[in-house]
């Protein structure tokens, strides 16, 4: 699987930004990921499935938080299998974990500015000012500590902080989990804006309808195996898959 596009200078990339081949992950004797493969050059990939099917494990494996027993993870052609998370982040991969992971004792301003840096190609498209324009609720709470924010505001802060690194790929794990419907819609709106900005994304979420509105292609994981890979249109056209694997 691959997504194709061009960089701002209209020069084609030489290969995938992120490529996973035959990834196997175990928790003890439990085989959590079974030969999972994917690649992304440009675009948005959705990963959907019921709880406990390996979605978050896959993301953690990409980020070096879980060590695979087999398979490889390549980033911009470099073998980064099992490497430290900070090394993977330095190659332009930004991760928004399910638990958000903000610094509760730092203000909104401090959470954002501590992450600011140029991207792998020297790009600084996502400035502090642009992040505040994208997240107007944060602009109203600049002096608030992270622990003073609502769950939705914390999620916005986490996404904003990731964008401040000017990533090549943004990975979102359950970005709308536990949020009120109104706030969840705002997060999906922001996902659309990120897509329009040209940043590639990997989005994990249980709500396949919202996921497929912003994705180019999608994977369905069942017990650590890929049982479907295709476009959003192809997934919508196969209701039997939705019933069998997603329970809808």
Lowest mean pLDDT: which of 30-34, 89-93, 107-111, 186-190?
186-190
Give the pLDDT score at 242: 86
Q: What is the mean pLDDT of residues 42-47?
A: 91
Residues 114, 118, 120: CA angle, nearest 5 degrees: 125
Give the pLDDT score at 237: 92
Residue 207 is encoded by which pair of tokens? Answer: 């709500």
Give the pLDDT confidence of 48-74 residue by residue, as tens digits.
998 889 999 999 999 999 999 999 999
Residues 17, 215, 121: CA angle, nearest 5 degrees: 30
Q: What is the mean pLDDT of residues 183-208?
A: 90
Q: What is the mean pLDDT of residues 169-175?
A: 93
Give the pLDDT score at 14: 58
pLDDT at 26 over 80: yes
Task: Read off φ and ψ for residue 200, nearest 5 degrees.
Answer: -70, 150
Give the pLDDT score at 12: 43
Quote the pTM value.
Answer: 0.89
pLDDT at 4 over 90: no
Give the pLDDT score at 248: 59
The span from the CA of 6 to the CA of 57, in Å, is 30
Residue 47 is encoded by which pair of tokens? Answer: 């990963």
95 compared with 7, residue with greater pLDDT: 95
Give the pLDDT confidence of 198-226 residue by residue, as tens digits.
899 999 988 888 899 999 999 999 999 99
The percent of residues in the chain predicted with pLDDT above 70, rounded, is: 94
Give the pLDDT score at 146: 92
Give the pLDDT score at 11: 42
Give the pLDDT score at 41: 82
Give the pLDDT score at 247: 76
Sheet containing strand 30-40, edge to edge, reads 30-40, 18-27, 70-75, 78-79
**H helices present in 27-120, as ranges:** 55-62, 85-90, 108-113
pLDDT at 6 over 90: no
Cβ-contact 213, 185 below 8 angstroms: no
Give the pLDDT score at 1: 39
The span from the CA of 142 to the CA of 131, in Å, is 12
Q: Which of 157, 154, 203 is nearest to 179 (CA)?
A: 154
Q: Which of 182, 186, 218, 222 is nearest to 203 (CA)?
A: 218
Cβ-contact 49, 55 below 8 angstroms: yes
Give the pLDDT score at 9: 42
Residues 118, 1, 202: CA angle, nearest 5 degrees: 40
């Amino acid at each position: 699987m691959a997504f194709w596009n061009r960089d701002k200078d209209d020069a084609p990339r030489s290969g995938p930004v992120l490529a996973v081949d035959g990834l196997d992950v175990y928790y003890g004797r439990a085989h959590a990921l079974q030969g999972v493969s994917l690649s992304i050059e440009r675009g948005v990939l959705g990963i959907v499935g019921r709880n406990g099917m390996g979605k978050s494990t896959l993301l953690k494996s990409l980020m070096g938080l879980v060590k695979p027993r087999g398979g490889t993870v390549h980033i911009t052609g470099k073998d980064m299998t099992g490497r430290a998370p900070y090394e993977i982040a330095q190659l332009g991969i930004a991760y928004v974990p399910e638990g958000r992971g903000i610094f509760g004792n730092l203000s909104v301003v401090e959470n954002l500015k501590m992450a600011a840096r140029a991207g792998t190609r020297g790009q600084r498209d996502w400035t502090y000012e642009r992040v505040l324009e994208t997240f107007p609720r944060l602009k109203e709470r600049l002096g608030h500590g992270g622990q003073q924010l609502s769950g939705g505001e914390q999620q916005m802060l986490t996404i904003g902080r990731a964008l401040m690194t000017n990533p090549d790929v943004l990975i979102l794990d359950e970005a709308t989990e536990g949020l009120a419907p109104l706030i969840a819609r705002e997060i999906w709106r922001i996902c659309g804006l990120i897509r329009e900005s040209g940043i590639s994304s990997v989005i994990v979420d249980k709500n396949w309808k919202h996921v497929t509105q912003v994705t180019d292609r999608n994977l369905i994981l069942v017990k650590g195996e890929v049982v479907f890979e295709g476009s959003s249109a192809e997934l919508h056209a196969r209701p039997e898959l939705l019933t069998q694997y997603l329970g809808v």
